[in-house]
Amino acid sequence: MTIKPSSLTPIGAAAPRLTSLSHGGGCGCKIAPGLLADLLKRSAPLPFFPDLLVGNDTADDAAVYRLNDEQAIVATTDFFMPIVDDPYDFGRIAATNALSDVYAMGGKPIMALAIVGMPINVLPHDVIAEILKGGESVCADAGIPLAGGHSIDSVEPIYGLVAIGVVDPRRVKRNVGARAGDVLILGKPLGVGVLSAALKKDRLDSNGYAAMIAATTQLNRPGASLAALDGVHALTDITGFGLLGHTLELARGSHLTARLRYADLPWLPGVVDFVEAGISTGASARNWDAYGEHIHLPSSLPSGARALLTDPQTSGGLLVSCAPEVVDDVLALFHADGFGAACVIGDMADGEPRVDVL
């Protein structure tokens, strides 16, 4: 059964499709990595703060500020335009995505604030209320209060969170610090951007939609437990820059070559077929333009491989770089928390900072 706009907009026939009100959706509406890097170069360097353990110098997932020898604050914010038309699902996805950055630093969320921008004269108020309820439900699932926030009247619908967490400063995990010989493990299947593009074209059936929602609303809770393993050397999550972009950040920060085994990558149902049918996102092409010169793709890969590997993920999985002797422990943590698709996808090797796809 193909999902029609009416079935994704349960709050009355007058409500427009949420995705029709935005020029991009989910993490696919991030500023392109090349442009973002150029803008950040123009910023003044931060003064030195000895207790700021993680700032913006390595494009990490969140800021970390040490309070004392045993406690540090993890702070992040994430928000975007709709990736789906169901308002409750949109709120859930956006909130899950925002909290992911706390988990990716090895932290535990303790509180969130809502970021809300809505076209008040376009969207029915009960639709907006459903978006907020979706975010509240995820915070409840994470065991934290949604303690406030800020709202504006916006041309496009925007929702997300400021997420605050805590971590032991000795257990902070960053997107740097991987070691040669490490194994790369991915926690969630890929292809969210492709499925969202198929949804906008009315090509996504109910099973595909259910798989996308299940992946994007699954909290990356294993992050805190992973941080407690001494053999876990680096941690990040895969979002708007795609698998290649975030793996490249890991390679650059660690001064190593990342090697991904294409045949071992997990995909959401139907993703490969959609790409072969010509369905992908504009953000995928922008991602490649920004970092493609640092990627080696063999000619033997399928024709759609580049679009798949650069596909922007919304609320994507954790990427773990760990010593070979803790691979079983890492996989066990993922699987025990319901991440059945978690698997080994590659390794780290000596070499120039780049990503080789094998």
**Exposed e or buried b per residue across 16-37, where buried means at least 16 C-beta atoms within 10 angstroms of its C-beta:** bbbbebbebbbbbbbebbeeee
Distance between start and end Cα atoms, the chain: 36
137 vs 96: CA distance, rounded Å? 10
- Phi, psi for residue 167 in degrees, rounded to 5: -155, 150
Is 322 catalytic? The answer is no
CA–CA gap between residue 154 and residue 227 (Å, rounded) = 38
E strands in 119-256:
146-153, 158-167, 183-186, 232-237
The number of residues in the chain equals: 358
Sign of CA dihedral 343, 193, 16, 123: positive
264: alpha, beta or left? (left if phi > 0; alpha if psi -120 to 50): alpha
- Active-site residue, from 27, 29, 139, 322: 27
Give the side-chain half-sphere CA count within 13 A for 127: 26
Active-site residue numbers?
A: 27
